Amino acid sequence: MAHAAHPAGGQPGITPGDGSTVSGATAPGPAGGPPAPGPRAHPKTVLEAAEINRALTRIAHEIIERTRGAEEVVLLGIPTRGVPLAGRLAGRIGQVEGRPVPHGSLDITMYRDDLRLRPARRLGPTKVPAEGIDGKTVILVDDVLYSGRTVRAALDALNDLGRPLAVQLAVLVDRGHRELPIRADYVGKNLPTSLAEVVRVLVTETDGEDAVLLEPVGRPGAAGARPRRGGVSGRRR
Partner 1 sequence: MNRHLISAADLSKQDALLILDTAEELARVADRPIKKLPTLRGRTVVNLFFEDSTRTRISFEAAAKRLSADVINFAVKGSSVAKGESLKDTALTLEAMGADAVVIRHSASGAPHRLAGWVRGSVINAGDGAHEHPTQALLDAFTIRRRFGRGSGEALDGLRVTIVGDVLHSRVARSNVWLLHLLGAEVALVAPPTLLPVAIGGWPCSVSYDLDAALPKSDVVMMLRIQQERMNAAYFPSVREYSRRYGLDIARLGQLPEDAIVMHPGPMNRGVEIAAEVADSHRSTIVEQVANGVSVRMAVLYLLLGGLEAAE
Binding mask 133-172 for partner 1 (x = CB under 8 A): -----------------------x---xxx----------
Q: Least distance from C-beta 105 to partner 1, angstroms?
A: 11
Measured from the CB atom, is 120 or 180 closer to partner 1? 120
CB 160, min distance to partner 1, A:
4
Size of interface with partner 1, in residues (CB under 8 A): 23
Window 62-91: residues binding partner 1 (CB under 8 A): none
Q: Minimal distance in Å, beta carbon 128 to partner 1?
A: 9
Q: Lay out the site mask for partner 1 across 92-131 (x = CB under 8 A, - = otherwise).
A: ---------------x--xx---xxxxxxxxxxxx-----
Q: How far is the CB of 125 from partner 1 (least distance, A)?
A: 7
Listing DSSP states for the chain in one string gives: ---SSS-GGGSTTSSTTHHHHHT---SSPPTTPSSPTTTT-SPEEEE-HHHHHHHHHHHHHHHHHHTTTTTTEEEEEPTTTHHHHHHHHHHHHHHHHTS---EEE---GGG-S-GGGSSPPPPPP-B--TT-STTSEEEEEEEEESSSHHHHHHHHHHHHH---SEEEEEEEEE----SSS---SEEEEE----TTEEEEEE-HHHHSS-EEEEEETT-TTTSSSSPPPSEEE----
- Residue 177 lies near partner 1 (rule: CB under 8 A): no
Decide whether 31 or 130 has the Cβ nearer to partner 1. 130
Please say which residue, 123 or 166, places its beta carbon nearer to partner 1.
123
What residues line the site for partner 1 (CB under 8 A)?
12-15, 107, 110-111, 115-126, 156, 160-162
